[in-house]
Amino acid sequence: MTSEDKIVPEPNKDKNQAQSNDSQLPESQGRREALKALATVPVLGALAYGVYKKQKYDKTMHDVSDVFKLSKETATIPELQPNGKQIRLGIIGCGIRGKQLLRAAGFATPDSLQKLIDSSKKDKKDSRYQLFREQENLNIALTGVCDIFDTFAEEGIAAGSNINREGVGGKLGPAPKRYRHYQEMLAADDIDAVIIATPDHWHSTMAMDAAKAGKHVYVEKPLSWTVPETYMIREVIKQTGVVFQLGHQGRQVDSYHKAKEILDKGLLGHVSLIEVCTNRNDPNGAWVYDIHPTANPQTVDWKQFEGDPERVKEYMDYMTAHNLAKYVGPDARDKFSLERFFRWRCWWDYSTGLSGDLLTHEYDAVNQLMGVGIPHSATSSGGVYFFKDGRTVPDVLQTTFEFPDKDMTMLYSATLASNRNRGKVIMGHDASMEVGDTLTVKVDSGSTRYKEKIEKGIIKPDVPFYTYVPGKSNVDAVTSATELYFAQRGLLYSYLGGKRYDTTFLHIREWLECIRDNSKKTSCGIDAAFDEAITAHMGTRAYLEGRTMYWDKDKEEIVRGEIN
C-alpha cells in the first residue's frame, strides 16, 4: 500500500453517512472509484482520467484556497535587447567547467558536437544536438582563450571558431587568440568581459585583476580561496563598477521562483530547520578526474598553476598560525604533479573542499529563497573516510549553521561515497518543502494553519500535497511517483515560457544583458558572493580548527569565541 492509497477515517460518521456524501470521501478513495468506472471505457479511459485529474486538482485547490493559494505565474525569460552591442569575450580556464561554460555561451568543439550528431542518428529521441543548434545566439564573439595546458587551450580555440555550431568538417570562423598568461589577455583591447573557470586558488586574484583592467567578470564559484581576499575582491568590484556575476546558475532554476513565493506567503509557517545535502558515489564525483595523456611538463605551465604569491602567503600564514601543517602539501608546491594538476580539488593547497565546491550551491539556494545572509556560527566535523588516496580535503563533512536572529538552523551533510538520494528540505511548523528540479510540499500533521482542513480530511498530512513540475501547464495536488522519480533526477527539465533552457546559459545570458544595460542587476552579484564565501570559509575553518566559528557582523570578522 502506498501513501497515496492510505485512507483517513472520518470520526463520528457511520458507513451510510460516508457513502451518501461524496464530498467527504478522502481523495485516494474517490480516485479508486473513478478508476473503476473508467476501466469500463477502454477507448476514452485515458482522456477521461485526465479530465478527472484536472477536476480533482481544481476541487482540492478550491477547498484549500483560504489557507493555500499561489499565483499561476511562472518565470519567464526577457527578450534580448534589440540592437544590443556585440560583446567580445575572453575565457580563462578551458578545463571541464570551462568547456561547459563555453557551450552554454554557444561555443562547442566540432569533435564534441560530432559525438552528439552521431548519437542522434542512433537514437531519434536524443535531441541534444538539435537543442544546442537552437540555443539562442547571445551576440558575443570569443576573441581570447587562456589556459596553461596547451591541449585545453587548443580545445577552447576550436570551440570559439565553431561559430556555425557544426560537427567535424563544418565551416569555421575566425580563431580566438591564444594567451599563455591571463594578464596578457586582460591588457587586450578586443576583450570586453571575461569568464573565469580556473581552480579555486586563482578565482579572486584573476577577478580583481580583470576588474581593475575594466573587464566585466563572470567567475565560477566559490568566490575566494582565502579569507583576506574575500574582502579585497568585494572592494575592487564595487570601486571599479564592472558587471559581476558569480557562477551559481541555480539562481535561474524555475522551481526556486515558486518556492520563494511559498515562503514569502508564509505557507510553511515558521521555518526552524533546513537540511541540505550532497551525495555522490563514484571517483569522478569525488574529484578523481582523468589525467589527460598529452599533459607533461612541456605542455603544462606549472609555475603559473602554483598560484599568486600573495594568495599563497595568506594561505600559509593562516595554516601556520593555527598549527594546521598536516593539511598542507604533502608535496612541495613547486613539485610538478599531474595528479595535483587535474585533481586539485583534493588538496587544500588549491581547493576550498566540500564547503567551497558543493555546500556553496546549497547555501546560495537557501540565501536566494530566504535572504538568510551570513550565519551567526558554524560547527563542522568529518574526515577522509573512503578515498584513501593522499588527499587532505575530507570526503565526508557535516556543518551546522546557526541563524538565531531567524530562530533557525541549517544542516549540511555530505558524503562522496553514497548515492542515497537526500533532498533540500525546508521544515516549517505547518508544512515542509523539498526543493530541487521540482518542488513538493507536505503538510505537517501538527500544523496550526491547516488543522481544520486536516480534521475534515481535505488535506492528508505527511504525503505530497502540492507538487510543482516546471514545464507542466498545470500542477497536480499529488504527482505520480513515477513522474516525481524522473523529475528529481533531472530528467524533466526546467522551463521558462514553455521552453527548456540550460540554467548556465540563462546565468551567462543575464550577465551579458546587464553589461548591455547597466540599469539591470545580476542575480548573484558581489554582495551575494561575499555572503557565500564567508559562509563557506566559516565552515572550512570550523573543520580545520575543530571548533565553532562565529561571525561578528559589526566588525565583519570571523572570530573564535561566543559573541553576545
The model's pLDDT over 269-286, given as tens digits with 9 standing for 90+, comes to 999 999 999 999 999 999
Please answer whether residues 148 and 301 qualify as being in contact, where contact means their C-beta atoms are separated by less than 8 angstroms.
yes
Please answer whether residues 251 and 229 qualify as being in contact, where contact means their C-beta atoms are separated by less than 8 angstroms.
no
Dihedral sign, CA of 1, 67, 454, 61? negative
Distance from C-alpha of 201 to C-alpha of 286, rounded to nearest angstrom = 19
What per-residue string of b and e applies to 123-132 under the rule 16 or more CB within 10 Å gives b?
Answer: eeeeeebeeb
Query: What local confidence, expressed as pLDDT, does residue 478 receive?
Result: 34
Domains and CATH numbers, the chain: 87-250 (3.40.50.720), 252-471+522-560 (3.30.360.10)
The model's pLDDT over 288-304, given as tens digits with 9 standing for 90+, comes to 999 999 999 999 999 99
Higher-scoring residue by pLDDT: 77, 458: 458
Single out the residue of 197, 203, 199 nearest to residue 224, CA to CA. 203
Single out the residue of 413, 370, 437 nearest to residue 539, CA to CA. 413
* Residue 37's pLDDT band (cuts 50, 70, 90): low
- Which CB contacts under 8 angstroms, 24+ apart, belong to 68-76? 68/267, 68/450, 68/465, 68/466, 69/265, 70/258, 70/261, 70/262, 70/265, 70/267, 71/261, 74/254, 74/257, 74/258, 74/470, 74/495, 74/496, 74/497, 75/254, 75/257, 75/496, 76/496, 76/497
How far apart, in Å, are the Cα atoms of 220 and each of 194, 203, 204, 212, 508? 11, 7, 10, 18, 11
| Entry pTM | 0.87
The model's pLDDT over 457-514, given as tens digits with 9 standing for 90+, comes to 999 999 999 998 876 544 433 333 333 322 342 323 467 777 788 899 999 999 999 9
